[in-house]
Structure 1
Amino acid sequence: MRAIRILAVAVLTWMAFLVAPASARTAAPVPAPVPCPGCWKPALNTSWQWQLSSVPAEPFLNVTMYDIDGFNASAAVVRRLHETRAGRKVVCYVSAGSYEDWRPDAAQFPASALGANLDEWPGERWLDIRQYGGKLGQIMRARMDMCKAKGFDAIEFDNVDGYTNETGFPLTAAHQFAYNAWLANEAHTRGLSVGLKNDLAQIPGLLSYFDWALNEQCWQYDECTTAQNGGYGYDQFVRAGKAVFTVEYELAASSFCSRSNAQNFNSLRKNYDLDAYRVACR
């Protein structure tokens, strides 16, 4: 069923592309990756927690990395996460591909950038990422500045695979690539490490822009590795010395942990709402 849905989305996207104005069919030129020698580069084996639905409270887990909501977490929480474990890094979660009506900057989004609703996520709509050269880009820069000001070490941009979904816009792979590369470069100019969230098919091209990767459910859908996909996979990040973090929601840990460990992935079993519950594979 998932393969059928992906094919249907691809057909709809192509049809929208054909009827779109020429100006909407092309993506902006993609700049070279911005180096960030001072950015945190997680070790291939990095213990971590991903907790978005609530702000972590002390006592914190004894893990090297916490990935938490950038808006909800205060600078004091980020500081305490640093203070309570030497070398701990904190990742700032923000959505870069969707509008969320509960965020404090929601009123700043132009109506023209708001697309279809995200399935099963009330109050959330896809964004026209082609507009990042204007107001949308200003909003995302402000979000990155917020992450930097609060003391985060890295950033996780969510929903950066809109071109594979029914967004309401004729987004192409080229549009997505240009936007994701721009996000990574903007993060690096702020000294923030940056992770590629999902968007598996563009791993070969985006690998040089991102410092690590995070995926949801790649074992469930048999798409974690190059051997499974043909031309792309998270083993390419590992071969480049870049850490991979994966999460499964529906599979039992016993069904994927040994495979994750063999690939040198840092994998967790989590609940869909990304609360404090966690089962670590290693």
Structure 2
Amino acid sequence: MRPVNEARRRRSKLVIWAVVTALLVVCLALGLGLGLSLRHGSDDGSGSSSTISPRPTPAAVWQPEPGTTWQIVLNSVLDIDDDTPTVTPDVAVFDIDMFLHQDSTVIANLHKLGKKIICYFSAGSYEPGRPDSHKFRAEDLGDELQGWPGERWLNISSPSVLSIMEERIELASRIGCDAIDPDNIDGYQNANGLDLTSDESIALVSFLVDKANDRNLAVGLKNAFDIIPDVVDIVQFAVNEQCAQYKNCGNLKPFIKANKPIFHIEYPKGAPGKVAAADSDGACNARGSTGFSTVIKAMSLGGWVEYCDGGTVDTKVFT
């Protein structure tokens, strides 16, 4: 009987080795897959490790073209007559504060005039006094934003914060916005008190795009140079502040290559109304800014605007 037992033992060993080998192959495959998924997707030195697969902009979502003309007013409600609506300047796009205009007829009147509306809100900071400010949990609030008393960085990975942002996107859709301008997603670049990372900002942008595009809203990337390579394929435009001042307009080239507009703002001394010609020229002809849609504004982002052809306009607002 011994030869039979020996044969059984050999077969048992062979089965065990086969099982072990199969498990090793599976583990190796999983390990390689995990390594690939964690690898930085762009190899561009931006420092982020997240990768977002490119996705086409849904057909119903507005995709503005490079060079699109615009005006941005964030501190007031635009004053547009309901009976015979008119607005100056005669540009294609208006970027306005969403909450200030949620109960007005401004968006409907701008649409009557053939304008597109970008609705501004902060996606990365808590602002006291907003209609939904009471919904933010204390544990999701970080340090104050430098220069903005009372405004605090948010834990942008918090399910509670993301839920509030989805509600804001739903409001933008309901009141007729064509796009959103979510501000302050670059907390990782600032002293935020929450240890925010660029990967969290990439994830936030992806979340905002998913929720906005589902409601036929376009999305812009506000500043946040480091994550441009990771999100340029999924957002529809960029909004930039002061790249001429800080000499980094060239960092926005991926948007030009992707045939997407860069809505560019500079805040030179003297604005509104007394900007030196050299400062206007510096804002409009900064290195790397070819093709940008540049406006010269006061930091308060009121109705006054200067364009690169030298023309100035004061959009009528309620005071």
CA distance in 2, matches of 1:202, 1:262: 19
**Does the Cα contact within 8 Å between 1:94 and 1:158 map onto a contact in 2?**
yes
Instruction: State the match for 1:72 in structure 2.
Output: 100
Question: What whole-Å deviation, never above 9, does each CA across 1:223-246 have from its counterpart, x for those lacking one?
Answer: 110xxxxxxx21210111101111
**The one of 79, 82, 104 aligned to 1:57:** 79
Structure showing greater radius of gyration is 2
SS of corresponding position for 1:238 = helix
User: Quick one: structure 1 residues 28 and 264, their matched pair in 2 at CA, closer, same or farther if it must change by over 3 Å?
Assistant: closer
CA distance in 2, matches of 1:45, 1:30: 27
CA distance in 2, matches of 1:182, 1:166: 23
Shift of 1:258: 2.8
**1:198-217 → structure 2 map (5 Å cutoff):** 198-217=223-242
Instruction: State the match for 1:3 in structure 2.
Output: none
**Does the Cα contact within 8 Å between 2:249 and 2:289 map onto a contact in 1?**
no
User: Quick one: structure 1 residues 258 and 60, their matched pair in 2 at CA, closer, same or farther if it must change by over 3 Å?
Assistant: same
Instruction: State the match for 1:14 in structure 2.
Output: none
Shift of 1:32: 6.0
CA distance in 2, matches of 1:173, 1:281: 33
User: Quick one: structure 1 residues 137 and 276, their matched pair in 2 at CA, closer, same or farther if it must change by over 3 Å?
Assistant: same
TM-score, structure 2 as length reference:
0.73
Aligned-residue CA RMSD (Å): 2.1
**The one of 270, 282, 294 aligned to 1:255:** 282
**1:108-119 → structure 2 map (5 Å cutoff):** 108-119=135-146
Shift of 1:261: 9.3
SS of corresponding position for 2:66 = coil
**Does the Cα contact within 8 Å between 1:27 and 1:175 map onto a contact in 2?**
no
SS of corresponding position for 1:203 = helix
User: Quick one: structure 1 residues 80 and 206, their matched pair in 2 at CA, closer, same or farther if it must change by over 3 Å?
Assistant: same
**1:138-153 → structure 2 map (5 Å cutoff):** 138-153=163-178
Aligned length: 246
SS of corresponding position for 2:235 = coil
User: Quick one: structure 1 residues 185 and 27, their matched pair in 2 at CA, closer, same or farther if it must change by over 3 Å?
Assistant: farther
* 1:47 paired to 2:69: yes
* 1:241 paired to 2:259: yes
Instruction: State the match for 1:265 in structure 2.
Output: 292
Structure 1 residue runs of 4 or more that deviate by more than 4 Å after TM superposition = 26-34
Shift of 1:202: 1.1
Shift of 1:29: 8.4
Shift of 1:28: 9.0
What are the ranges of 5 or more consecutive residues in structure 2 without an aligned counterpart? Answer: 1-47, 81-85, 270-278, 310-319
Shift of 1:259: 3.6
**The one of 167, 187, 190 aligned to 2:215:** 190
**Does the Cα contact within 8 Å between 2:283 and 2:296 map onto a contact in 1?**
no
- Structure 1 counterpart of 2:93, which letter? M
TM-score, structure 1 as length reference:
0.82
Percent identity, aligned pairs only, is 36
Shift of 1:256: 2.4
Instruction: State the match for 1:82 in structure 2.
Output: 111
Shift of 1:35: 3.7
CA distance in 2, matches of 1:95, 1:106: 11
What are the ranges of 5 or more consecutive residues in structure 1 without an aligned counterpart? Answer: 1-25, 226-232
Shift of 1:184: 1.6
Shift of 1:95: 0.3
CA distance in 2, matches of 1:259, 1:130: 36
